[in-house]
């Protein structure tokens, strides 16, 4: 029985708790000066960005523009790219579902096996059979991954020999009991977020998709404990930008005790602390990055700069938009107003754009077509969106990989 091999689950380190307290405090003010609907527009974009970086960690490069097109059911003719798009659409669907569950079930134990298996099920049930086939690295046989089902065979991932399949259910129950965020303060829960991430990967409960499920779980965990700026930053971006270090630190945290002073469990407390410190440092880095970009005047100025470049025709082919008309000053005025106000009633659009009503309607339709504006109905107020093709101008470095 490998249950004792899971310990410790709680990294023992006072500096780690102080690091978590600082992170929790700095997250509280993220985006505080922006209109809630503008923040929602940013969060919509970052779902795509989160998916993009999670895919990169898996070695799958699906650009956010391609992901957005897939969300509109516009799939690439190339079969490989189309499969990556299907994978991305499934990922974003699960993000949305998880956010919904957290709103409806505020006491949900996101570390519980039910939730972990649910994440896996909701992702894989959305994939065609051909994308659920994996090859056993030991025996070479092909295995069909069953959505939400814990593996019933033993696996080895690189140097990591995962626990025997018979032990997985009890290991998951132990992890759920000890790391349930309801059992500790929000700051304490944040301090162990890296341990949740690592230990679930160490258990390796599924035949495939463990990394993706764990990153989805980490997003849900941070939301569950109330870390500020939910949806306005993504830990996957930080992990992908430090991918090699991330994988090295994951492997290091698999280690057994270094010596008699290294905690009381079978695994190394020091290594778990180091991974947890790394995980929180990645979170802090992403918070600081987005915090600097979400200052309202700076955001408005970057959007204005992008619009002026479009007015001048300096951006003629923004990711496949060749042949589109230039922006007009009226369109620029609309987008800047939306940054500050979040939405505009239809009746106010002509005045803000400085154009007759018919021209204003045409401007709105163009902005809808390019993904800058959305509305629930043709009479509803228009709301801001930030399309993936414009994101590198509005949020410099958002797609950059170090």
The pLDDT of residue 17 is: 97
The pLDDT of residue 267 is: 87
From 239, 271, 293, the end of a domain falls on 293
Q: Are residues 319 and 272 in the same domain?
A: no
Identify the band that residue 280 occupies on the pLDDT scale cut at 50, 70 and 90. very high
Q: Are residues 330 and 352 in the same domain?
A: yes
Higher pLDDT, 159 or 233: 233
Identify the band that residue 400 occupies on the pLDDT scale cut at 50, 70 and 90. confident
Mean pLDDT in the chain? 92
The answer to whether position 402 is within a domain reads no
Q: Are residues 145 and 76 in the same domain?
A: yes
pLDDT tens-digit series, residues 52-100: 999 999 998 999 999 999 999 999 999 999 999 999 999 999 999 999 9
From 293, 311, 331, the end of a domain falls on 293
The percent of residues above 90 in pLDDT, for the chain, comes to 81
| Section 140-152 average pLDDT | 90
Identify the band that residue 279 occupies on the pLDDT scale cut at 50, 70 and 90. very high
Identify the band that residue 317 occupies on the pLDDT scale cut at 50, 70 and 90. low
The answer to whether position 22 is within a domain reads yes
Residue 313 has pLDDT above 90, yes or no: no
| Section 176-205 average pLDDT | 96
The pLDDT of residue 322 is: 47
pTM comes to 0.93
The pLDDT of residue 4 is: 78
Residue 318 has pLDDT above 90, yes or no: no
The pLDDT of residue 230 is: 85
The pLDDT of residue 1 is: 57
359-363 own/partner pairs: CB under 8 Å, 24+ apart: 359/330, 360/330, 363/328, 363/330, 363/331, 363/334
Residue 120 has pLDDT above 50, yes or no: yes
The answer to whether position 6 is within a domain reads no
The pLDDT of residue 139 is: 61
Identify the band that residue 172 occupies on the pLDDT scale cut at 50, 70 and 90. very high
From 272, 293, 314, the end of a domain falls on 293
The answer to whether position 4 is within a domain reads no
- Give the residue numbers spanning the domain of 350: 296-394
Residue 379 has pLDDT above 90, yes or no: no
Q: Please give the tally of structural domains in the chain.
A: 2
Phi then psi for 144, rounded to 5 degrees? -85, 120
Q: Are residues 20 and 151 in the same domain?
A: yes
Q: Are residues 162 and 229 in the same domain?
A: yes
Q: Alpha-carbon torsion 182, 119, 62, 314, what sign? A: negative
358 Cβ neighbours under 8 A, 6+ residues apart? none
pLDDT tens-digit series, residues 78-89: 999 999 999 999
The pLDDT of residue 2 is: 67
Q: Are residues 89 and 232 in the same domain?
A: yes
Cα angle: 366, vertex 52, 251; to 5 degrees: 170
| Section 131-142 average pLDDT | 76
Q: Are residues 47 and 182 in the same domain?
A: yes
129 Cβ neighbours under 8 A, 6+ residues apart? 144
21: domain CATH number is 1.10.3290.10
Do residues 10 and 192 make contact, with C-beta atoms less than 8 angstroms apart?
yes
Distance CA 1, CA 175 (A): 15
Q: Are residues 127 and 259 in the same domain?
A: yes
Identify the band that residue 171 occupies on the pLDDT scale cut at 50, 70 and 90. very high
Residue 325 has pLDDT above 80, yes or no: no
The pLDDT of residue 315 is: 79
pLDDT tens-digit series, residues 336-358: 999 999 999 999 999 999 999 99
Q: Are residues 313 and 288 in the same domain?
A: no
The answer to whether position 261 is within a domain reads yes
The answer to whether position 5 is within a domain reads no
The answer to whether position 7 is within a domain reads no
365: domain CATH number is 1.10.10.10
| Section 261-278 average pLDDT | 88
The answer to whether position 1 is within a domain reads no
Q: Are residues 319 and 206 in the same domain?
A: no
Q: Are residues 266 and 300 in the same domain?
A: no
Distance CA 51, CA 365 (A): 28
Q: Are residues 288 and 304 in the same domain?
A: no
């Amino acid at each position: 029985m490998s249950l004792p091999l899971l310990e410790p689950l709680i990294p023992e380190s006072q500096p780690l708790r102080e690091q978590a307290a600082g992170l929790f405090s700095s997250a509280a003010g993220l985006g505080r000066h922006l209109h809630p609907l503008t923040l929602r527009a940013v969060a919509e974009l970052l779902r795509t960005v989160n998916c993009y970086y999670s895919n990169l960690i898996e070695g799958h490069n699906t650009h956010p523009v391609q992901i957005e097109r897939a969300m509109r059911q516009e799939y690439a003719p190339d079969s490989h790219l189309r499969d990556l798009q299907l994978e991305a659409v499934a990922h974003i669907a699960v993000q949305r579902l998880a956010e919904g569950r957290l709103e409806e079930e505020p006491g949900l134990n996101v570390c519980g096996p039910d939730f972990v298996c649910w994440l896996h099920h909701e992702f894989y049930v959305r994939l065609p059979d051909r994308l659920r086939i994996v090859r056993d690295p030991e025996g070479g046989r092909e295995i069909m991954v069953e959505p939400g089902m814990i593996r019933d065979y033993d696996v080895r991932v690189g140097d990591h020999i995962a626990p025997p399949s018979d032990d997985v259910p009890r290991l998951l129950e132990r992890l759920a009991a000890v790391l349930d965020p309801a059992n500790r303060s929000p700051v304490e829960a944040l301090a162990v977020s890296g341990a949740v991430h690592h230990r679930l990967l160490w258990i390796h409960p599924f035949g495939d998709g463990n990394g993706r499920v764990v990153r989805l779980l980490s997003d849900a965990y941070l939301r569950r404990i109330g870390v500020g700026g939910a949806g306005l930053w993504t830990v996957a971006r930080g992990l992908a930008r430090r991918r090699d270090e991330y994988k090295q630190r994951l492997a290091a945290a698999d280690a057994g005790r270094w010596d008699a002073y290294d905690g009381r469990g079978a695994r190394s407390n020091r290594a778990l602390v180091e991974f947890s410190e790394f995980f929180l440092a990645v979170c802090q880095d992403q918070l600081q990055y987005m915090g600097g970009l979400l200052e309202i005047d700076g955001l408005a100025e970057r959007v204005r700069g992008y619009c002026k470049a479009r007015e001048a025709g300096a951006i003629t082919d923004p990711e496949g938009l060749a042949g589109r008309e230039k922006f007009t000053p009226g369109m620029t005025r609309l987008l800047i107003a939306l940054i500050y106000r979040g939405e505009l009633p239809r009746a106010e659009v002509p005045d803000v754009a400085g154009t007759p009503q018919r021209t204003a309607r045409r401007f709105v339709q163009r902005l809808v077509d390019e993904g800058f504006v959305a509305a629930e109905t043709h009479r509803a107020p228009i709301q801001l969106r930030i399309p993936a093709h414009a994101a590198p101008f509005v949020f410099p470095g958002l797609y950059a990989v170090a």
